[in-house]
């Protein structure tokens, strides 16, 4: 079941990556911030596809370790995750409201972040990791995600609790920033929320935890580790409260309901894993499944990891105009159908052992999607509103250069950060 889930997720990542890339290469009237948004989402999809492939989707698993090629792919996948974090970190102050007025400012920040992550790749995977004290110091990825989550949560909270919405162009722009922030928080914290609630003290958070005593900077590791715990719990709890307030005020049932589901599903998973009062035999007899905790964990963690993330990226790209689906109307419908098909088939496969649901339900539901053209409604719901306001933000410099150097920078980083470990380390990778 796990293998099937990862395969579906990897195929969906690959199809979505191709779909967005084709639309992104089309010439249209998108603003430079929208084009940058598409660039960031493409790199994140590449990161996620690399993880899916290398962690077992097609029979390969870098986590097993052992030989040179396996160790090399392990470093490559971690470097892809660094790019995935940087993509959303840079999107935070570029899309949809840029925090800078000069292109040089963005490039300086971009280069600085790449250098810091390059140093981290060396200290975590290279020779320093094998010294007597050890250097498993995630001084780039962990702080970046913590800062990103706090800022995104603040922006999302302001959107959910705002007394007014969309009354003028400024509010339309800030509303878009808030919605983008909420989806980013759900994407990054959703999976880790299930890790946190499900395993609580023993599970990994954003990235592998290196014990505080294993390197010369125990205080830094201890602080980032505990901040990661607080960040995941706090962000989703804050947005949960904000979603209820937003529901009460404007009736956004889809957004509010999804956040409420994520919160309670994590709590239920914690109950299955941690509570000593769970009568598994009784629960198993009712639900037709002996290992309820494992199945529910797969339903929450697996669906968020393999299916929700690509769908969130698709939503962001269409809703915020990063790509324009009118270039490929039939292709857009096909993409939505495949995304729905993947979701339906995976969820019913997970629910089959729990509730005894036949997998024929997958075919039935997919037939309903095609018969009632539900994919059209989903695509229409993703489209920006007719009165959508997309200001052409003024920037000093050539915005096309920003996109070009972003692609070059990520590609060079991926190669260099991987090669320095391979060339200068002869003991494998950490």
Instruction: Please write the tens of the pLDDT for every residue from 316-365.
Output: 999 999 999 999 988 988 888 888 877 777 667 666 655 556 666 666 66
- Model confidence at 392, pLDDT cuts 50, 70, 90, reads confident
Q: Which of 58-67, 228-237, 317-326 is predicted least confidently?
A: 58-67
Mean pLDDT within 6-16? 83
- Distance from C-alpha of 44 to C-alpha of 41, rounded to nearest angstrom: 5
- C-alpha 354/C-alpha 276 separation (Å) is 21
150-154 average pLDDT score = 93
Q: Where is average pLDDT lowest: 183-192, 292-301, 399-408, 419-428?
A: 292-301
Residue 304: which pLDDT band, with cuts at 50, 70 and 90?
Answer: confident
Q: The tokens of 150 are what?
A: 């706090």
Of 166, 159, 215, 235, the residue nearest 384 (C-alpha): 166
When pLDDT is averaged across residues 115-120 and rounded to a whole number, the result is: 93
Instruction: Output the pLDDT for position 212.
Output: 46
Convert the pLDDT of each residue in 200-209 to its tens digit: 444 444 444 5
Task: For residue 134, report the phi and psi dihedrals to the nearest 5 degrees.
Answer: 85, 150
Residue with the bigger pLDDT between 266 and 145: it is: 145
| pLDDT attached to residue 143 | 87
Q: Where are the beta strands (DSSP E) in 54-164?
A: none
Mean pLDDT value across the chain: 77
Give the pLDDT confidence of 237-292 residue by residue, as tens digits.
888 888 888 777 776 666 777 777 777 777 776 666 555 555 555 555 555 555 55
Nearest to 133 by CA among 123, 119, 143: 123
Give the count of beta carbons closer than 10 Å to the beta carbon of residue 74. Answer: 22
Question: Tokens 């191709």 label which residue?
Answer: 18
39, 24 contact by CB (below 8 A): yes
For the chain, give every domain's residue range: 2-424
Span between the terminal Cα atoms of the chain, in Å: 29
Q: Is 276 exposed, middle or buried (0-12, 13-18, 19+ CB in 10 A)?
A: exposed
Is residue 220 within a helix (H) or strand (E), and if so which, with residue range?
helix 218-250
Angle at CA 44, nearest 5°, toward 25 and 333?
55
The mean-pLDDT minimum among 115-119, 334-338, 381-385 falls in: 381-385
Average pLDDT rounded to a whole number, residues 397-417: 94
Per DSSP, the residues of 332-397 read: HHHHHHHHHHHHHHHHHHHHHHHH---THHHHHHHHHHHHTTHHHHHHHHHSPPTT--------BS
Tokens 């970190």 -> residue: 89
**Which residues, at least 6 apart from 70, have a Cβ–Cβ distance to it below 8 Å?**
62, 64
pLDDT attached to residue 430? 44
What pLDDT, on the 0 to 100 scale, is given for residue 349? 66
- Give the pLDDT confidence score for residue 68 in this predicted structure: 65
pTM confidence score: 0.84
């Amino acid at each position: 079941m796990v293998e099937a889930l990862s395969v579906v997720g990897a195929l969906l990542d690959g199809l979505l990556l191709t779909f967005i890339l084709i639309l992104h290469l089309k010439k249209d009237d998108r603003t430079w911030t929208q084009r940058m948004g598409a660039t960031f989402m493409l790199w994140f999809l590449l990161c996620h596809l690399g993880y899916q492939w290398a962690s077992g989707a097609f029979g390969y698993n870098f986590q097993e370790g052992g030989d040179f090629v396996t160790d090399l792919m392990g470093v490559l996948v971690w470097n892809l995750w660094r790019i995935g974090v940087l993509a959303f970190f840079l999107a935070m102050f570029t899309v949809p409201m840029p925090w800078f007025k000069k292109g040089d400012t963005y490039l300086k920040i971009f280069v600085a972040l790449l250098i810091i992550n390059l140093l981290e790749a060396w200290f975590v995977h290279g020779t320093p990791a094998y010294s007597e004290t050890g250097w498993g110091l995630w001084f780039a990825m962990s702080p970046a995600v913590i800062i990103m989550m706090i800022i995104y949560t603040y922006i999302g909270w302001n959107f959910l609790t705002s007394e007014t919405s969309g009354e003028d162009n400024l509010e339309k722009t800030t509303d878009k920033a808030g919605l983008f922030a909420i989806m980013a928080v759900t994407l990054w914290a959703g999976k880790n929320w299930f890790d946190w609630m499900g395993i609580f003290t023993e599970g990994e958070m954003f990235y592998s935890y290196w014990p505080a005593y294993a390197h010369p900077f125990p205080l830094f590791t201890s602080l980032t580790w505990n901040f990661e715990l607080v960040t995941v719990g706090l962000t989703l709890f804050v947005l949960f409260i904000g979603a209820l307030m937003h529901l009460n005020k404007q009736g956004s049932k889809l957004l509010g309901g999804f956040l409420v589901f994520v919160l309670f599903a994590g709590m239920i998973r914690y109950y299955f894993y941690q509570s000593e009062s769970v009568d598994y035999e009784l629960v198993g007899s009712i639900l037709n499944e002996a290992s309820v905790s494992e199945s529910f964990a797969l339903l929450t963690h697996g669906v968020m990891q393999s299916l929700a993330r690509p769908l969130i990226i698709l939503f962001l790209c269409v809703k915020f105009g990063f790509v324009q689906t009118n270039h490929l109307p039939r292709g857009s419908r096909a993409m939505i159908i495949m995304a729905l098909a993947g979701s339906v088939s995976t969820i019913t496969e997970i629910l089959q052992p729990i509730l005894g649901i036949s997998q024929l339900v997958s075919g039935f539901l997919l037939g309903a999607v095609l018969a009632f053209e539900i994919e059209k409604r989903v695509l229409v719901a993703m489209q920006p509103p007719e009165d959508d306001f997309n200001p052409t933000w003024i920037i000093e410099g050539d915005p096309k250069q920003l996109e070009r150097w972003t692609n070059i920078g990520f590609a060079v980083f991926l190669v260099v950060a991987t090669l320095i470990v391979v060339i200068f380390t002869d003991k494998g990778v950490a």
